[in-house]
């Protein structure tokens, strides 16, 4: 794949897992090339920079396998929404409801996106379907929690 395509893939199917900006992506590809973990094939194009198609090498695949065997690092998570909820006693009830409603809207949108992407990819990439299924499960759980929370505070 090209750097550009990798970016799209990461932004789409892998957005629940990690992310990457070009400022990280391109230097990383150059480093992997230096290390011999990937090789590149330039495809000239008219009117735009040559497309650089990267492909993993035998050595790269070996290193990948080694990395995969290592225990995974702990999740790095930063949820500003939850932090605001934690500090909500400083907020009038009305603002709190708005905060939660916005979050519910965002979660609903994410849920719809995930359903749509699941339909798109269910027959193609099983690995991608796996990650999608995981994301869906957690997204549904958050949705349930948000609805319950809204019920609870509106009853008070």
Partner DNA sequence: GTGCGCATGTAAGAGGTTACATGATTAA
Partner DNA sequence: TTAATCATGTAACCTCTTACATGCGCAC
Site residues (CB under 7 A) for DNA? 2-5, 8, 19-24, 26-27, 29-30, 45-52
Which is closer to DNA, CB of 84 or CB of 104?
A: 84
Question: Which residues contribute to the site for a second copy (CB under 8 A)?
Answer: 14, 16-18, 61, 64-65, 68-69, 71-91, 95, 99, 102-103, 106, 127-128, 130-131, 133-134, 137-138, 140-142, 144-145, 149
Which is closer to a second copy, CB of 50 or CB of 55?
A: 55
Taking CB within 5 to 8 Å according to partner kind, which of a second copy, DNA, none is near residue 153?
A: none
Taking CB within 5 to 8 Å according to partner kind, which of a second copy, DNA, none is near residue 21?
A: DNA
Which is closer to a second copy, CB of 4 or CB of 81?
A: 81
Taking CB within 5 to 8 Å according to partner kind, which of DNA, a second copy, none is near residue 93?
A: none
**Spatial distance between the Cα atoms of 9 and 11, rounded to a whole number of angstroms:** 5
**Spatial distance between the Cα atoms of 29 and 32, rounded to a whole number of angstroms:** 5
Taking CB within 5 to 8 Å according to partner kind, which of a second copy, DNA, none is near residue 140?
A: a second copy
**CA-to-CA separations, 92 to 12, 87, 88, 99, 152, in angstroms, rounded:** 37, 11, 8, 11, 16
**DSSP per residue over 32-57, as a string?**
HHHHTSEEEEEE--SSSPPEEEEEE-
**Spatial distance between the Cα atoms of 44 and 30, rounded to a whole number of angstroms:** 19
Q: What residues contact residue 81 under an 8 Å CB cut-off, 6+ apart?
A: 99, 103
């Amino acid at each position: 794949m090209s750097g550009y395509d990798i970016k799209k893939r990461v932004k789409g199917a892998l957005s629940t897992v990690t992310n990457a900006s070009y400022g990280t992506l391109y230097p990383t590809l150059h480093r992997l090339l230096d290390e011999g973990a990937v090789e590149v094939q330039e495809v000239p194009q008219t009117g735009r920079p040559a497309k650089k198609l990267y492909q993993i090498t035998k050595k790269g695949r070996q290193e990948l396998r080694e990395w995969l065997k290592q225990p995974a690092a702990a999740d790095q998570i930063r949820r500003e929404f939850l932090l605001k909820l934690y500090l909500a006693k400083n907020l009038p009830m009305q603002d709190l409801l708005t905060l939660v409603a916005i979050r519910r809207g965002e979660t609903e949108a994410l849920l719809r996106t995930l359903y749509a992407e699941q339909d798109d990819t269910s027959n193609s990439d099983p690995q991608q379907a796996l990650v999608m299924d995981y994301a869906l499960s957690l997204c549904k759980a958050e949705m349930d929690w948000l609805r319950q929370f809204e019920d609870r505070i509106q009853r008070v």
